[in-house]
A and B are shown apart, each in its own frame.
Chain A
Amino acid sequence: MEIFIQTLAKAIALGSIYAIMGLSFVLIFKGTQVLNFAAGAISMAGALFMSILIADRGFPFLPFTNPLAPADGETAGVALWIVHLMIALILAAILGLILERVAIRPMVGQPLFSMAVITLGLEIAIRPFNLDATAITGRSVGVPWGTESWELAGAIIPKSYVAAIIAAAIAFTGVYFFYRSRFGVAMRAVAFDQEAAMAQGINVGRVFAIAWGLGAALAALGAIFFAMAPWPPAGTVSLEIHPIWIFRVLPVIILGGLDSVAGAVAGGLLIAIFEIFAGQYLSQWTNILGPGYSTIVPYIVMLVVLLVRPYGLFGTEEIRRV
């Protein structure tokens, strides 16, 4: 029973992180029709910004010290940590805005695949800088609760899990209400038909910028919550984070449907539950399934679902015309 609760908590926490990343993908796809393969690079850059702010007490790219950061050897309080988190997210959003302006804006109206490959190029180009900044060893994001945990009916539940779930809930609520705001309606109009939206007086360029800024901030949020204690690479920003985003989150958004906010959350939770439970309860067959089999569970779930529902669980079916 304890093992079941622990596994469930882990699955929901991982699902929350997947959901945050999925929301980032969906926001960018709905706004600009781009499948953002560069999310891995952007999210890792965001986590690195956080690490530079709070662990190195500096600012990325600037030779100043960060006056807010806690002194050497101390960890920040929760409130101070959240302030830093906000600054890191804003920096990530600025990175997203720059990328959108430089690489995505000139491609408006090009085929979907060309846009996706542009982001693949961005991913390859940014990755060395990220790997360079991590300098192989992992970097801390200065989590105030460290490795502490709560106990629930004999099961040990790390505080990081709860924090990730809260972050996902806030992100989902935020995105949900954003879609019902003025900007959100504009974004949906742009996603439906760029030219018609322009004719209605919507500034399409601004919608693109907002989608990329928010998408990049969400991607960074996901990575920061994955760089905490109980998660695999020793709870730090490390090289491991990078491939995880891109390659483990893709099944999530495909499963939920590329353009569905609810689908991102449902897909994230579903994939994480399959992945974590398979990792926990099938481990006695590891010698047949092979070591690390749980990492391909998301892909197998995705393949099975796609063959039944080709546009994901909640995705909009494309109407094919001659």
Chain B
Amino acid sequence: MSFGRPLLRTSYEEDAAILPTWFQKGSAIVALLLITLMALGFGPLAAFPKFLLGNTWINPVTLTIIFAIAALGINILVGVTGQVSLGHAFFMGTGAYTAVMLGGNVGDEESWKACVPFHDNLGLLESQGQCGLGLPIWIWLPASGVVAAMIGVLVSPAAVKVRGLYLAIVTVGLVFIGLHLGRMLPEWAGDFESGRKWPKLDIRLWKEEAPLVELTEDGKWFGLIHLSEEQKQFFFLFAIMLVMLWFAKNLVRSRTGRALQAIRDRDVAAEVMGVPEFKYKRLGFAISSAYAGVAGALLASYNGRVSPIDFGLLLSVDFIAILLIGGAGTIAGTMMGTVFVELLPDMVEKFTAWLASKLDAGGPVGLIANFLLTEGGEGDFGPISIATVAPGWPMSTFQWNFVIYGTLIVVFLIFEPLGLYGVWLKVRNYWKGWPFSY
């Protein structure tokens, strides 16, 4: 068998499989099993995330799942097609607002009137509050992907006309225009500061009272197993992510995926070989935006309340960081990057809280805690403030998280351009030849 020889293929079927070696198949099954047991709260397994992230660990992990969907999308556009985009947050916003306009329920028969922009100014219709049609999830979730994809197709001609860094800045422009639309259209976006309510994650056939599958309340699922609200949402979103992951993996190794990669490597050369540049750039934008739209809709509806500010440039930068820290162009790297970038702030916070609990413990841990932390007293000099005070030199963990995040981007780009995936390759190659060096 091919143990220890990850690139050895002995048949065509093996070469075409998503997980080519039995080791990869086995580890995928074990990982799925472990994650399921962990989410079900199986004692010793759940202790691990509890240790790293605290008792409410399932919330950051669920958010990470949603971010993974969007990160898969940006990987298709930036990593596979090679079109640098900082506009991912705009497409997420597009998906989210499509979701709320189709699924948002304002309990008003005529709330569709609010969906016509500027009706006040043009004197066409009476204001009817916030736009929302109250449709079920099986309409608004695919629709959010489709609408975002259509906007992506509209934007894609810019990618043919404008290249490289110029394209990156054009897409920055998109984010700002999106933010401004949020400010212009309170009937769609709600108040600019506080946002508006999103439809809940419930599966209904139509607008009936009792949902078909309950996702937002604790209780028995299908009369089989008792789950909490968080666990239900975790499993639902995890299933969606697996479908998206499967599609992305298949796309990258298909004819279309190879065409996209040809354009990334050299667009002129690709065109000479008969790969139409515009068609595939358009496709790259469409698929990436569809992922972003679905992720945006899920993110907003998981949070319950989102304001347009949340779809700002920092969100786009998050995804570029995920891509570079994980390893651009690889699905495995994207997933590793998402887990790392999204969970690190929570881990830092948990670690600080743990250190704070050891302040009076003495010994080496107590010394380190005293050195790092400041409670705001006289002569207390640590760089991390744990007291709830106004900004000042000892900075809070919230601010330190930004410093760590920015530094990580710089460090990874300098020392490991292939990201976490490159680290994994190095580890794998070391053990492949062990005990020899090659």
- Residues of chain A at the chain B interface (Cβ within 8 Å): 35, 103, 106-107, 110, 112-114, 116-118, 120-129, 131-132, 135-136, 247, 250-251, 254, 258, 287-293, 295-296, 299-300, 302-303, 306-307, 310-312, 318, 320-322
Are B391 and A121 in contact, with the CB atoms below 8 A?
no
Given A114-B417, A120-B320, A250-B172, residue A290 in contact with residue B166 (CB < 8 A):
no
User: Across the two chains, which residue of chain B brings its CB closest to A307?
Assistant: B161
Are A310 and B166 in contact, with the CB atoms below 8 A?
yes
**With contacts A124-B409, A125-B410 known, what are 12 further pairs, Cβ within 8 A?**
A121-B407, A121-B409, A128-B395, A128-B402, A132-B392, A247-B172, A247-B176, A254-B170, A299-B172, A302-B170, A307-B161, A318-B163
What chain A residues lie within 8 Å of B158 (beta carbons)? 303, 306-307
Are B183 and A287 in contact, with the CB atoms below 8 A?
no
Which residues of chain B from 300 to 345 have a CB within 8 Å of any chain A CB?
313, 317, 320-321, 324
Are B180 and A292 in contact, with the CB atoms below 8 A?
yes
Task: Give the size of the chain B interface in residues (CB under 8 angstroms).
Answer: 51
What chain A residues lie within 8 Å of B400 (beta carbons)? 128
Report the minimum CB–CB distance from A175 to chain B (whole Å): 21
- Residues of chain B at the chain A interface (Cβ within 8 Å): 84, 118, 120-121, 158, 161-166, 168-170, 172-173, 176-177, 180-181, 183-185, 266-269, 272, 313, 317, 320-321, 324, 390-393, 395, 399-400, 402-403, 405-410, 413-414, 417
Is chain A's interface secondary structure helix, strand, loop, or mixed overall?
Answer: helix
* Distance A318 CA – B15 CA, assembled complex (angstroms): 40
What chain A residues lie within 8 Å of B392 (beta carbons)? 132, 135
* Distance A195 CA – B313 CA, assembled complex (angstroms): 36
List, sorted by A's number, 26 A–B pairs whose CB atoms are closer than 8 Å. Answer: A106-B414, A107-B413, A110-B413, A112-B165, A113-B168, A118-B413, A120-B320, A121-B408, A121-B409, A126-B406, A127-B406, A128-B399, A129-B395, A132-B391, A132-B393, A132-B399, A135-B392, A247-B313, A250-B172, A251-B169, A292-B183, A295-B180, A303-B170, A307-B158, A312-B166, A322-B269
What chain B residues lie within 8 Å of A132 (beta carbons)? 391-393, 395, 399
Contact of B165 among A258, A288, A321 (CB under 8 A): A258
Are B180 and A293 in contact, with the CB atoms below 8 A?
yes
What chain B residues lie within 8 Å of A135 (beta carbons)? 390-392
User: Across the two chains, which residue of chain A brings its CB closest to B401?
Assistant: A128
What chain B residues lie within 8 Å of A320 (beta carbons)? 267-268
What chain B residues lie within 8 Å of A129 (beta carbons)? 395, 403
What chain A residues lie within 8 Å of B405 (beta carbons)? 124-125
Are B183 and A290 in contact, with the CB atoms below 8 A?
yes
* Distance A196 CA – B266 CA, assembled complex (angstroms): 24
Report the minimum CB–CB distance from B169 to chain A (whole Å): 5
What chain A residues lie within 8 Å of B410 (beta carbons)? 103, 118, 121-122, 125
* Distance A288 CA – B417 CA, assembled complex (angstroms): 47
Given A110-B417, A132-B391, residue A118 in contact with residue B409 (CB < 8 A):
yes
User: Across the two chains, which residue of chain A brings its CB closest to B404?
Assistant: A125
Given A132-B395, A307-B158, A310-B166, residue A117 in contact with residue B403 (CB < 8 A):
no
* Distance A303 CA – B87 CA, assembled complex (angstroms): 14
* Distance A117 CA – B323 CA, assembled complex (angstroms): 11
* Distance A36 CA – B163 CA, assembled complex (angstroms): 18
User: Across the two chains, which residue of chain A brings its CB closest to B402?
Assistant: A128
Report the minimum CB–CB distance from A238 to chain B (whole Å): 13
Given A254-B169, A291-B183, A311-B166, residue A117 in contact with residue B406 (CB < 8 A):
no
Are B272 and A322 in contact, with the CB atoms below 8 A?
yes
Are A136 and B409 in contact, with the CB atoms below 8 A?
no
Given A113-B84, A258-B165, A306-B162, residue A124 in contact with residue B391 (CB < 8 A):
no
Contact of A127 among B169, B324, B402, B408 (CB under 8 A): B402
What chain A residues lie within 8 Å of B414 (beta carbons)? 103, 106-107, 118
Are B173 and A251 in contact, with the CB atoms below 8 A?
yes
Are B176 and A116 in contact, with the CB atoms below 8 A?
no
What chain A residues lie within 8 Å of B402 (beta carbons)? 124-125, 127-128
When A and B form their complex, which 7 residue pairs have the shortest distance between CB atoms, in order from nearest? A125-B406, A121-B409, A290-B184, A124-B406, A299-B173, A128-B399, A121-B410
What chain B residues lie within 8 Å of A292 (beta carbons)? 180, 183
What chain B residues lie within 8 Å of A103 (beta carbons)? 410, 414
* Distance A93 CA – B408 CA, assembled complex (angstroms): 24
Are B268 and A321 in contact, with the CB atoms below 8 A?
yes
* Distance A103 CA – B407 CA, assembled complex (angstroms): 10
Report the minimum CB–CB distance from A94 to chain B (whole Å): 19
* Distance A256 CA – B173 CA, assembled complex (angstroms): 16
Contact of A114 among B269, B399, B413 (CB under 8 A): B413
* Distance A127 CA – B405 CA, assembled complex (angstroms): 11
What chain B residues lie within 8 Å of A310 (beta carbons)? 161-163, 166
Given A125-B407, A128-B403, A306-B162, residue A290 in contact with residue B180 (CB < 8 A):
yes
Q: Counting chain B CB atoms within 10 Å of each CB, which of A135, A291, A296 scores highest?
A: A296
* Distance A124 CA – B324 CA, assembled complex (angstroms): 15
* Distance A321 CA – B343 CA, assembled complex (angstroms): 42
User: Across the two chains, which residue of chain B brings its CB closest to A296?
Assistant: B180
Are A117 and B409 in contact, with the CB atoms below 8 A?
yes
* Distance A124 CA – B317 CA, assembled complex (angstroms): 10
* Distance A310 CA – B268 CA, assembled complex (angstroms): 17
What chain A residues lie within 8 Å of B390 (beta carbons)? 135-136
* Distance A251 CA – B408 CA, assembled complex (angstroms): 28
User: Across the two chains, which residue of chain A brings its CB closest to B395?
Assistant: A132
User: Across the two chains, which residue of chain B brings its CB closest to A320?
Assistant: B268
Report the minimum CB–CB distance from A108 to chain B (whole Å): 11
* Distance A251 CA – B405 CA, assembled complex (angstroms): 26
Are B176 and A296 in contact, with the CB atoms below 8 A?
yes
Given A121-B406, A289-B184, residue A113 in contact with residue B170 (CB < 8 A):
no
Are B268 and A250 in contact, with the CB atoms below 8 A?
no
Report the minimum CB–CB distance from A3 to chain B (whole Å): 25
What chain B residues lie within 8 Å of A251 (beta carbons)? 169, 173
